Every structure is written in structure tokens, then in C-alpha cells.
């Protein structure tokens, strides 16, 4: 179990954590506001409100794991 999806894409079984792409988008939005004249002290503190669950079914098969369909359906992303 890892904390980011790139490790799952590289062969890990699963990850549960923040989506760093979304963190980048959130940061870019702040930068855009500052560059268009907003005062940084007036910007609200924003945070990611959702964690992402990613599964690698190929790794599960190679490990001989039979994942219940309920677990697979709960995944945000499934790598075949």
C-alpha cells in the first residue's frame, strides 16, 4: 500500500492518498490569482478534501490475490 498513484502504475498493488496533480492545479490557481493582483494574505487557505484509491489488478493477479468486486468498485482508478 502506497500513498501515490504513480507507484501503482509502476507495479505496486494499491495506493490511498492525495492526487498530486490536483494539488498542482490548486497551487496554480493561487499563483494565477497573485499574478493578476490578488494580495496573498487575502487568499483563502484551500486543501484537498478527498483521497484517491487506486488499484493495480495485474499485480493482484501476479500475487495470486482475488480482490472482491466491492473493493474494485470502490477504487477511483483501476489499472488493468
Q: Which residues pair with 22 in a beta bridge?
A: none
Phi/psi at 75 (5° precision): -70, 140
Grid cell at residue 1: 500500500
Residue whose C-alpha cell reads 494539488 in the numeric block: 23
Q: pLDDT of 25-79, one tens digit each?
A: 999 999 999 999 999 999 999 888 889 999 999 999 999 999 999 999 999 999 9
Domain range enclosing 47: 5-79
pTM: 0.76
Domain total for the chain? 1
Amino acid at each position: 500500500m502506497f500513498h501515490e498513484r504513480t507507484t501503482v502504475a509502476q507495479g505496486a498493488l494499491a495506493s490511498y492518498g492525495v492526487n498530486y496533480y490536483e494539488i498542482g492545479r490548486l497551487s496554480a490557481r493561487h499563483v494565477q490569482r497573485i499574478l493578476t493582483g490578488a494580495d496573498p494574505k487575502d487568499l483563502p487557505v484551500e486543501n484537498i478534501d478527498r483521497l484517491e484509491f487506486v488499484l493495480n489488478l495485474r499485480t493482484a493477479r501476479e500475487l495470486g490475490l482475488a480482490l472482491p468486486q466491492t473493493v474494485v468498485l470502490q477504487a477511483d482508478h483501476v489499472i488493468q
